[in-house]
Structure 1
Amino acid sequence: MNIRLKRFICCLLLFLASAPALSTPMTKGVATFANDYRLEVEIADTTPLREFGLMHREHLQENQGMLFVYPDQALRGVWMKNTLLALDILFLSEKGSILSMLRNVAPCRQDPCPVYTSIVPAQYMLEVNAGFIDKHQLKIGQEVMLDYQPHNP
């Protein structure tokens, strides 16, 4: 078997192994802010779902976002490769308080894409449309109530 065929088979097997996780329907949840504004969120709580995130999305409703759930608190990084929308990003503690925010993070147009990180360890990352932070006058330390069901392990 030639080397090209072996590489193709390896790539195909890796793709097929990750396909079930990416085809898993997103579970939904709600993030409620201090002003009682409710945001519908898709839950990205597995490695494949977190890696895929909002890639290739052409539109995100004003009242929608994606909540990235991690098993621990750590510095979190995000990059905008294959992301078509400008986003605001909130980094949240295990209790849901806002620890760090990034405003108007632009899509990456060419490699290498920069990585944007939280300034302190975070348990959650919430991606929303650019302008959300200013529109809702969010501040560091504000609480966000998170209500969601995790994917089954």
Structure 2
Amino acid sequence: MNTLEISPFLLLMTLMSCCLPTQANTNIYYPVSFPERQIDIKVEIAATKAEREQGLMYRTDLPTNTGMLFVYAQPAVLEVWMKNTLLTLDVVFLDGKQHIVSLLDNLPPCRHSPCPIYRSALPAQYMLELPGGFIKQHQLKTGEYLSLPKR
């Protein structure tokens, strides 16, 4: 019989999603970091379907070193679009072990339908949206590790 391996972080976020407001724009930030580069970031968590659908839509500002971490129950080729997103974003896709598997930089806002759909190059379990230019500024590369909160 196969068993499903769930990371402690994913379990925590799933359990918390029942008790947090349904909007991801709660301004509750969690610390994450790229320890190899000594980069600390504060992220909002989008763990439910409703939170992931809302994402960073309609935001007019995303402060430096902040972002949104999208959490999925299973790895898959993840898709993102920029509909109603007013900011240029960088997107980092991470596998279940929190290593970068794909990067998209400087995705432009989409003001008119149809909006293009962007995909991770490989299956991912987490998607991290950051201000546009972050990937280039910090020279992020595939294979690097993102440390998630240990709670």
TM-score, with length taken from structure 1 = 0.80
Q: Which has the higher helix share?
A: 1
After superposition, the C-alpha distances for 1:94-132 in whole angstroms (9 at most, x for unaligned) are: 111000000100000210111100011000000001110
Distance of aligned partners of 1:24 and 1:107 in 2 relative to their CA distance in 1, 3 Å threshold:
closer
Is the partner of 2:22 in helix, strand or coil? helix
Pairing 1:22–2:27 present: no
Q: Aligned-pair distance for 1:148?
A: 6.5
Aligned length, in residue pairs: 130
Q: In angstroms, what is the RMSD of aligned CA positions? A: 1.6
Q: Aligned-pair distance for 1:63?
A: 1.2
Gaps of 5+ in 1: 1-19
Q: After the TM superposition, which parts of structure 1 deviate over 4 Å for at least 4 consecutive aligned residues?
A: none
Greater C-alpha radius of gyration: 1
Aligned counterparts of 1:118 and 1:23: Cα–Cα separation in 2: 22
Gaps of 5+ in 2: 1-20
Q: Which amino acid aligns with 1:28?
A: Y
- Sequence identity of aligned pairs in percent? 48
Spell out the pairing of 1:2-151 with structure 2 (5 A cutoff).
21-22=22-23, 25=26, 27-33=28-34, 34-147=36-149
Q: Aligned-pair distance for 1:28?
A: 2.5
Assess if the C-alpha contact under 8 Å between 2:24 and 2:51 holds in 1: no
Q: Which amino acid aligns with 1:107?
A: P
Is the partner of 1:123 in helix, strand or coil? strand
Distance of aligned partners of 1:118 and 1:83 in 2 relative to their CA distance in 1, 3 Å threshold:
same
